[in-house]
Structure 1
Amino acid sequence: MTTRDVRSLGEFTFECGESIPELELAYETHGEFTGDNAILVCHALTGSHHVARVARSATERSSGSPRDGGGRGGDWATETDGQARAWWDDIVGPGKAIDTTEQFVVCVNIPGSCYGSSGPASTNPETGEPYGTDFPPVTVADWTRAQRRLLDDLGITTLAAVVGGSVGGMNVLEWIKRYPDRVERAVPVAAAARLDAQCVALDGIARRAITTDANWAGGDYYGGTEPDDGLALARQLGHLMYLSKDSMARKFGRRAAGRDAARDDFPVDPAAGFFPYRDVESYLDYNAGTFVDRFDANSYLYLTRAMDDYDLAAGHTSDADALRAFDGEILVMSFTGDWHFTTEQSESLAEACRTAGVDVAHHVVDSDHGHDAFLVEPENVGPPIADFLAHGTAGRAVTDTGTESGEAFAPVHASLFGD
């Protein structure tokens, strides 16, 4: 059973001290709630609450009824303000790693986004106009507090697990830091306790691409020409952060795409006609073009700032101190080709858990896909999550050199770092 809804939670005060009169959160649920089987899935930076698709009934399949959106394999996916494809459909669903026949999955669109929850593009009920940059600054802590408000409203007081990737993994960490008694297990995937200086710098350049677009107009562009060029450039920088050198070499190399493949999104210099338009440029231009059709530039500014600002140790003496109150179990997952959130950062997080006395396993996936591996390698991501949700760190937790049962994976206590 699936529910998609938008719920009003009344007035909400953000960490910055500013309030809005009505916080609305868009959310999606899958499965049936039995009181102790709720799992919160936290989406990444530009994702949404649309985490998994829903299969059509036999009657609908035979009639050819498309419902309200095109899906893969004859199934359908409800369009979520432009994001038609469920972002973790290979992980969440009946019989999958997060099995919705046994677990009740909740995914919430974070405040500040543009997929149905309150954000800069939302209408301010006091003015009847979009908030724009009058919307309060948001933090990962605000996302977590808002999610708790929604879960309380849904009658969910305890979570069997909180799972999330990328900045969604930071959201996971904030849950076990802020509400340690409400979570039994946590899975931060391709995440870290904080972003490093290089990634903060790249995010800063991406934001400048948006704010220097003349159409940004100080954030007051709704109803007019939007800053598509700036947002497209920001997204292209983001894509570079999500890919590894090896994956880019494999996918694109230095191949030319052909001049007829060039898009007219950006002006080119006169010399461009002499040089090849390359596959990698075509890829970036295409993805930027599709992204600006579905995402809001102000939301991109707000959400990247929330990610850049996050620090697990804030308000505490260390990461370990921030985690000390959590008495559940944690599975940290990282990917060798990821330079956005590195395996070293994940190991540092796992070590903080050990110092705090928290039961933790660090599973390192050997992958050259880069940061996007948590989305594009379900065969490597799903099995460790399923095993951890079923058995915790007492599952098949052995060294990375092999497994007890000959399976193709093992959540690890002794990781690549020699523990």
Structure 2
Amino acid sequence: MPVDTDAAVADLGEFRFECGESIENLEVAYEAYGEFTGDNAILICHALTGSQNVASHRTQWDRQSGGSSGPPNSAGQARAWWSDIVGSGKAIDTTEYYVVCANVPGSCYGTSGPANEAPDGEPYGTRFPPVSIGDWTRAQRRLLDHLGVGRLHAVVGGSVGGMNALDWAVRYPDDVQCVVAVAAAARLDPQCLALDGIARRAITTDPNWHGGDYYDAETGPTDGLALARQIGHVMYLSKSSMDQKFGRRAAGRDMVRDTFPSDPAADFFPYRDIESYLDYQAEKFVDRFDANSYLYLTRAMDDYDLSEGYESDAAALAAFEGEALLMSFTGDWHFTTEQSETVAEAFRADDVPVAHHVVESDHGHDAFLVEPENVGPPLRDFLHNGVRGQAVTDTVAADGGDDPEFAPVHTSLFSG
């Protein structure tokens, strides 16, 4: 039977980052769901600004704090970001699997990061060591050792969490049977690198950033962080979804521009729905996330390259002997279906059983969060059966040709 959700912070001792710098005590905040039986553990890797709170609605932190905003440094974390996928009777069934989700180093939801106290008693700020996705993977391995978990049934991740999952196949190929990367890629393309660079510049040019030492200041770099988040949201949406949801409509006379100051002439022009939406998202985000953490985590994502240190992606994955599921969405221009197919080809080159499930969607990158009806069925089937008997390579090419490699679909390629 499942046990109560375990929400905790593990002190993993001294940790040396890939950059060569160390901290004396790496604390990792995590949540665990279900009961460990020895071979049923699944690690879930969260997206860029996500947290360990993948499924629960009322955690140990709520019980201990009477419903306050969450674990230390959480600043009001978003709740249960994949609760439609993880839970009793769901695609990742917590009555069947022991599920662990850990907040990554450099973040601000309980795991050691820039906002944490350094040995001198002051917040680290930008003195915190630079972090990489490899550091996230190594910290997760240390946490699982701490929990008594050896080999994993699966590592599952979305967005940059999917990169994290792929890194497990490279770094610990013998420790995981199944790898699932949803809306992910082997590396970011130059357009996304450029937008991330602009987002970071918005933070570091905010006069209230103070070189990263703003924790004792009356006001932090909220304007810069808000702009960075707005850039991110534009990356997560598709042209089609923005047109359908917002169009060119004005927000209405009762709406006000209160997130950013506007020039006097702006009052002559409409304040549009899309502007109002982005302002609302930015206002919510600055209340829950740390600006320095945003700098650290986007740099880790930008730096990731599956083939780093190897001749190719296939060479990087050569030691992995499990199975893989890749999921992508046609409306996602942040991590495209073509990028997922490139990873699938690397697995195929190593004779790794791999399924690339492509969902035709208008939602953009956010589809992996908002379309559980498309994510859940193939994920559930893959965790139970792998790619055996589910002939993904029998699908018809989207152009009607003979290429069976992958094709956009409306329904699951895996029969239930």
How far apart, in 2, do the equivalents of 1:259 and 1:115 lie?
Answer: 38
Q: Is the 8 A contact 1:387 1:395 kept in 2?
A: no
Matched, 1:156 2:149: yes
How far apart, in 2, do the equivalents of 1:415 and 1:173 lie?
Answer: 20
Look up the match of 2:413: none
Letter of the 2:222 partner, please give it.
Answer: D
TM-score, normalisation: structure 1:
0.91
Please state how far the C-alpha of 1:358 moved relative to its aligned partner. Answer: 1.2
Please state how far the C-alpha of 1:264 moved relative to its aligned partner. Answer: 1.4
| 1:393 alignment partner, SS class | coil
Look up the match of 1:219: 212
Look up the match of 2:274: 280
Matched, 1:316 2:310: yes
Letter of the 2:150 partner, please give it.
Answer: T
How far apart, in 1, do the equivalents of 2:223 and 2:40 lie?
Answer: 44
Letter of the 1:17 partner, please give it.
Answer: G
Matched, 1:116 2:119: no
Look up the match of 2:48: 45
Please state how far the C-alpha of 1:309 moved relative to its aligned partner. Answer: 0.3
Please state how far the C-alpha of 1:306 moved relative to its aligned partner. Answer: 0.2
TM-score, normalisation: structure 2:
0.91
Look up the match of 1:229: 223
Candidates 162, 165, 176, aligned match of 1:169:
162
Output the aligned Cα RMSD. 2.1
Matched, 1:416 2:407: yes
How far apart, in 2, do the equivalents of 1:254 and 1:129 lie?
Answer: 47
Letter of the 2:114 partner, please give it.
Answer: P
Matched, 1:267 2:261: yes
How far apart, in 2, do the equivalents of 1:5 and 1:299 lie?
Answer: 20
Letter of the 1:155 partner, please give it.
Answer: G
Look up the match of 1:26: 29
Look up the match of 1:245: 239
Q: Is the 8 A contact 1:361 1:413 kept in 2?
A: no
Q: Is the 8 A contact 1:163 1:187 kept in 2?
A: yes
Q: Is the 8 A contact 1:333 1:363 kept in 2?
A: yes
Please state how far the C-alpha of 1:356 moved relative to its aligned partner. Answer: 1.6
How far apart, in 2, do the equivalents of 1:361 and 1:284 lie?
Answer: 35
Against the structure 1 CA distance between its residues 413 and 52, is the aligned structure 2 distance closer, same or farther, given a 3 Å change threshold? Answer: farther
Letter of the 2:205 partner, please give it.
Answer: T
How far apart, in 2, do the equivalents of 1:216 and 1:395 lie?
Answer: 55
Candidates 133, 140, 145, aligned match of 2:133:
140
Please state how far the C-alpha of 1:395 moved relative to its aligned partner. Answer: 4.2
Look up the match of 2:344: 350
| 1:372 alignment partner, SS class | helix
Look up the match of 2:328: 334
The runs of at least 4 consecutive aligned structure 1 residues that moved more than 6 Å come to none
Look up the match of 2:197: 204
Matched, 1:128 2:121: yes
| 1:117 alignment partner, SS class | coil
| 1:273 alignment partner, SS class | helix
Candidates 254, 258, 279, aligned match of 2:252:
258
Look up the match of 1:408: none
Q: Is the 8 A contact 1:49 1:109 kept in 2?
A: yes
Q: Is the 8 A contact 1:24 1:118 kept in 2?
A: yes
Q: Is the 8 A contact 2:11 2:27 kept in 1?
A: yes
Where does the alignment leave 5 or more consecutive residues of structure 1 unmatched? 57-64, 71-76, 403-411
Look up the match of 2:400: none
Q: Is the 8 A contact 1:388 1:395 kept in 2?
A: no
| 1:114 alignment partner, SS class | coil
How far apart, in 1, do the equivalents of 2:229 and 2:302 lie?
Answer: 16
Matched, 1:383 2:377: yes
| 1:364 alignment partner, SS class | strand
Letter of the 2:20 partner, please give it.
Answer: G
How far apart, in 2, do the equivalents of 1:338 and 1:66 lie?
Answer: 40
Please state how far the C-alpha of 1:140 moved relative to its aligned partner. Answer: 0.2
Q: Is the 8 A contact 1:41 1:105 kept in 2?
A: yes
Please state how far the C-alpha of 1:413 moved relative to its aligned partner. Answer: 6.9
How far apart, in 1, do the equivalents of 2:384 and 2:354 lie?
Answer: 15
Look up the match of 2:414: none
Look up the match of 2:38: 35
| 1:331 alignment partner, SS class | strand
| 2:209 alignment partner, SS class | helix
How many correspondences in the alignment? 394
Please state how far the C-alpha of 1:397 moved relative to its aligned partner. Answer: 2.9
Letter of the 1:382 partner, please give it.
Answer: G
Please state how far the C-alpha of 1:270 moved relative to its aligned partner. Answer: 1.2
Against the structure 1 CA distance between its residues 239 and 81, is the aligned structure 2 distance closer, same or farther, given a 3 Å change threshold? Answer: same
Please state how far the C-alpha of 1:396 moved relative to its aligned partner. Answer: 2.6
